[in-house]
Amino acid sequence: MTDRAYVIDTMISAKAIAARIEELCHEIKREFGDTDKLVVVGLLRGSFVFIADLVRELDLPIEVDFLEASSYGDAMESSREVRILKDLRGAIEGRDVLVVEDIVDTGHTLSHVVRLLLSRAPKRLKSIALLDKPSRREVDFAADWIGFAIPDEFVVGYGIDFAQRNRNLPYIGKVRFTD
């Protein structure tokens, strides 16, 4: 897969991402303003840049934890089989939880993770995704907050990869194959 030649066209600039994160944080603070501690759960690996910027902008008491789920591997298409590769380190029972995802495509991964975490009896659980591809949805699930709705394009950057490449781009770019 990675031996195919491609270029990356900017879809969402770093400046637009930063502005949207600021807006989202105001909404999250309204929802969780009364929390004694918000457990921010990042879904690895794609959300790590988003979660870092999000928690720096949130003026709330925060604990960060990570869960790694996969339905892609190195492929461009979801396998629809969600595997938990790394579970949370801490308990979330009775706690306020915000699940942070990089992109909602078919909806299988985030839907699975939210069901799993709800089974652990959090006080409140909300979800946020930087990107949403509603045209690709296969399950009836929507994140509580969305950064940007995008068309059905293969994207990279800002933590999102193509076969473990391009996570370090400061923007969201559309992959365009040249061969």
Q: How far apart are CA 108 and CA 173, in angstroms?
A: 23
- DSSP secondary structure letter of residue 2: T
Which residue among the candidates 53, 96, 102, 105 is catalytic per the annotation?
105
Known active-site residue 59: no
Strand, coil or helix: what is 14? helix
Q: How far apart are CA 105 and CA 139, in angstroms?
A: 10
The torsion angles phi and psi of 40, rounded to 5 degrees, stand at -95, 115
Q: Virtual CA dihedral for 43, 136, 150, 167, nearest 10 degrees?
A: 40
How many of the other CB atoms lie within 10 Å of CB of 133? 18
| Catalytic positions, written as ranges | 105
